[in-house]
A = this chain, B = another copy of it.
Amino acid sequence: MLAALPRKQYQRMRGGLESVALIFGDVLYEPGERIRHVYFPNDSLISLLTLVDGHLALEVGMVGREGMIGVPLSLGTDVSPVRALVQGAGAAMRMKSARFSKEIQRSPQLQQEVNRYTSALMAQITQTAACNRFHVVEARLARWLLMTRDRVGSDEFRLTHEFLGHMLGVRRVGVTKAARALQKEKLINYSRGEIRILNRRGLEAASCSCYARVKDMHDGVRH
């Protein structure tokens, strides 16, 4: 995302940016708590989760290098409504909240970039909401794997069924069942946390249309 900024603007921000290594399972924000830093993932991947009383977590958004976390700051709020969880380890740049707020006031280009992303994120959350309501686990799992693939840029990644359950809001057993079905179709392969996509096209066919929708939105193809 930072790469989309004019060189000059980026230079000015650099002083406030700090490179960090995000490790799997790190929780960057908790719902209702203050946002201390904004993060710009490089090759890392972050999930936005909503929590509700006695239930599993549920992913409402996925953020990779195309975006950032901490958008509420640009809207003048310093409290996150979601949990932000590192789902794919890797590098990211971060900046202190106060500094970011200043930068965004000084730079219309940065403001604009963030705004553009904010609206895409809102659309993503909305789409995901409907998807989680209407589509069966198998299709949602397929969508999720594809979205992850697009962001980490690899057909292979480490994820247990347990973890996937927290993303899709279903029990581990439900994930196992769906994953087995996909494996039988030779679309994916996995063992002990190593998941590999074997047939991307096939997986797209098995996923719901929401995958294409969200993809289009972020590509800016949407109208």
Contact = CB atoms under 8 A, between A and B. Distances in A.
Q: How many copies of this protein are present in the complex?
A: 2
A75 B118 contact: yes
Contacts of A127: 50, 52, 81
A210 interface: yes
Interface residues of A, number: 40
Interface in A112-134: 112, 115-116, 118-119, 122-123, 125-134
A129 B79 CA distance: 19
Given A116-B77, A119-B77, A58 B125 contact: no
Interface of A: 32-33, 50-53, 55, 58, 60, 72, 74-77, 79, 81-82, 112, 115-116, 118-119, 122-123, 125-134, 169, 209-210, 217, 222-223
